[in-house]
Amino acid sequence: MHLELVKRPEVSRVMMVGSPVLAVGLTVIFAAIVFALQGKDPLAGVYYFFLEPLTSSWSIEQLIVKATPLVIIALGLAVCFLSNNWNIGAEGQLTVGAITGSMLPVLVPEFASPATLPLMVLMGALGGALFAAVPAILKTRFGTNEILTSLMLVYASGLFLDWLVRGPWRDPKGFNFPITIAFNDAAIPSTIPIGPLYLNLSAFVALVLVAVLAVTLGRTLKGFEIRVLGQSPRAGAFAGFSARRMTLFAFMVSGALAGIAGILTVASEIGKLQPVISPGYGFTAIIVAFLGRLNPVGILIAGLVIALSYLGGEAIQTTMQMSSKVATVVQGMLLFFVLACDTLILYRVRLVGRAPKEPARA
Amino acid sequence: MLEAIILTVITAATPLLLAAIGELVVERSGVLNLGVEGMMVMGAVCGFAGTLTFGTPFAGIIAGALAGMAVSLLFGFATLTLVANQVASGLALTLFGLGLAGLIGEGFVGTPGLKLPALFIPGLTDLPVVGRILFGQDVLVYLSFALVAGVSWFLFRTRAGLVLRAVGDNHGSAHALGYSVVKVRYLAVLFGGACAGLGGAYLSIAYTPLWVESMTAGRGWIALALVVFASWRPGRLVVGAYLFGAVTILQLHAQPLGLGVPSQFLSMLPYLATVVVLVLISGNRRATRFNTPACLGTPFVPDR
């Protein structure tokens, strides 16, 4: 008995929408098994993990807070992955964006004007983009594997942030805690009431970015260039597109977006810099990008789904005394299921019994 | 002093060497498994758990290798049976492994472990200068060298090794000749998983007999870089692993000396060194082009 793939005559439209849904369904079943293995009621676990966070307006606000950086980063990663550039150092670009964006409120705290926040976002984007340019330039100039270099820079940037908040940027009145001074009010995004919900300005930034990327990828020549170079660099070259310039472009766009996510997260969630500023948004965004099928609108939905797993992890910890680490396991498993289910778009999977031995063909 | 430094370099290099030799075989068969970090961390936690459960580090070694194989099978199923994207599946394996290891290891945080004993051969280990370095290591150190020699012999001196390289260089031709590409690759992925698991187990049983979450700290990724550095030749892997072991240990020794450099910058060294080394080696086209398995990372669907 083994599985056999049969190529479909054409791409399955049903499965293009169905495969992420199927993957989420399989993940729910898998999560129930994990709960059962831990000796807990699987149905209650599934309820608290996946549904309970949707029942109060407070937790829906939290859901959007968590989804915001995931969506922003994943949009940039989609540009990279579509053009066949493997930036997996978004976590590092997020960190550097948070650092460069925080320069204004940390080093010049007396500068408080309506321009403060836009400037911070701009500097965060610039820092993230320049940091992402490093693996891109190494790739185009020396042919260095961008996966490994972008990842190594994540560790370096984390250590750099650690040094900053324990060293030169430490709050002198902070009782020796490794934190910077608190941001002034002008540096903190305001919240806007929408019906019963109070939404952070960052969430609207994310929505605007989704729209911008959706138009760019779907309706412009640049979007076409990204896709062509990703699927066939040779065909792209005939069209006059440069794969090298695309590498730099894709990395800098995704670095800028990760940087924006970094400074927005720090400004809206923490209000200062500290050694750890993200629960791995940069890595989780990879899952979001694939679950959203590298499509901006899909990424928006996927970001909310994955954000749910963060809240679900906290929920089962408080209500069922289970480890919040279950959330990371569920996220990792979800990516596996997404990738495996994507096979169904191009292939039909058949279970084949042991076939009778065919006589050797001449 | 020098002897002490060499001894610690060996302990820092061994986990890298173990994980990298496995990945080298995987990549030679044409599969790029970026999940080394995830397999290593699973090896670390299961190695630690196995040691405590059965009361001997040798049980931990076996548990670590089995754990690495078990999760590598997930990757194999996704990429070989379902021909999913290898890069993305490798990342999935890393994220999943880090999460699952954290979950399994939660009860072990802060529990003291058992250290894998060093061998003691009367007479030889007592030799001055070289005695402890050459004859007083633990079994996994010797195993890492045996694996390098074994893999080297297997790849370049046996028929099965030739088949494996053929599958990695041209899966279409290998299939046409009647070799099962998918089967060869499954075996290679499992071997890679076992080696990464051993490397992880070394961390939690020999390097620091403790379980700390994410204790692999990017070593799986460095092991991947080492395979590129070695341009897919087992012998050069030893040089690379010991070079990186030395960098790791040098920064540890430099920290108490002060030197006015903040410790965070010293801790960056292994990661930055990886980047520098990758740049240098990929600038050398001859070394990389010649040896890169031609089908590395490309999926294979057998036609009937």
CATH number of A2-352: 1.10.3470
Report which of residues B40 and A112 the model is more confident about: B40
Q: How confident is the model at residue A354 (pLDDT cuts 50, 70, 90)?
A: low
Does any domain span residue B210?
yes
User: Would an 8 Å CB–CB cutoff place B107 in contact with chain A?
Assistant: no
Domain hosting B249: range is: 2-291
The pLDDT tens digits for A252-273 are: 999 999 999 999 999 998 999 9
Is B39 within the bounds of a domain?
A: yes
Sign of CA dihedral B282, A155, B213, A30: negative
The residues spanned by each domain of chain A are 2-352
Residue A144: how many CA atoms within 13 Å on its side-chain side? Answer: 27
Q: Give pLDDT, residue B129.
A: 67
Q: Which of A156, A342, A347 sits opposite B268 (nearest CB)?
A: A156
3-class secondary-structure state, position A3: strand
A200 beta partners: A191
Residue A361 pLDDT > 50, yes or no?
Answer: no
Contact B271 A88 (CB under 8 A): no
pLDDT more than 70, % of chain A: 97
A7 forms beta bridges with A347
Give the CATH number, domain containing residue B187: 1.10.3470
With cut-offs at 50, 70 and 90, classify the pLDDT of residue A6.
confident
Gap between the Cα atoms of B190 and B219, Å rounded: 19
Examine residue B301 and state whether it is found in any structural domain, yes or no: no
Cβ of B176 under 8 Å from any chain A Cβ? no
Please count the structural domains in chain B.
Answer: 1
B190 located within any domain = yes
Q: Do B87 and A147 touch (CB under 8 A)?
A: yes
Identify which of B70, B53, B1 has the alpha carbon closest to the alpha carbon of residue B205.
B53
pLDDT of residue B287: 67
Ranges A139-143, A195-199, B61-65, most confident: B61-65
**pLDDT surpasses 80 at A299:** yes
* pLDDT tens-digit profile, chain B (304 residues): 777 788 889 999 999 999 999 999 999 999 999 999 999 999 999 999 999 999 899 999 999 999 999 999 999 999 999 889 898 899 899 999 999 999 999 888 888 878 888 777 776 667 776 767 777 788 899 999 999 999 999 999 999 999 999 999 999 999 999 899 999 999 999 999 999 999 999 999 998 888 988 888 889 999 999 998 888 999 999 999 999 899 888 877 777 776 677 888 888 988 998 899 889 888 777 767 777 888 888 888 877 5
β-bridge pairing A197-200 and A191-194: antiparallel
B304: in domain:
no
Flag whether pLDDT at A362 surpasses 50.
no
Nearest-by-Cβ selection for A163 from B34, B224, B262: B262
Within a domain: B80? yes
Which residue in chain B is spatially nearest to A159 when comparing CA positions? B264
Chain A residues 129-188 within an 8 A CB cutoff of chain B: 138, 142-145, 147-149, 151-153, 155-156, 159-160, 162-163, 166-167
Burial letters A151-166, b for 16+ CB under 10 A, else e: bbbbbbbbbbbbbbbb
* Chain A residues closer than 8 Å to B78 by CB: 336, 339-340
Q: What is the pLDDT of residue B37?
A: 95
**Chain B contact set for A87 (CB, 8 A):** none
B283:A142 CB<8 A: yes
B296 reaches A (C-beta below 8 A): no
- Mean pLDDT over residues A188-214, rounded? 89
Q: Domain for residue B231, yes or no? A: yes
CA B204 distance to own-chain centroid: 14
Rounded CA-CA distance A12/A18 in Å is 10
**Residue A11 belongs to what H/E stretch?**
none
Structure confidence at residue B258 (pLDDT): 63
Question: Mean pLDDT over all residues of chain A?
Answer: 89
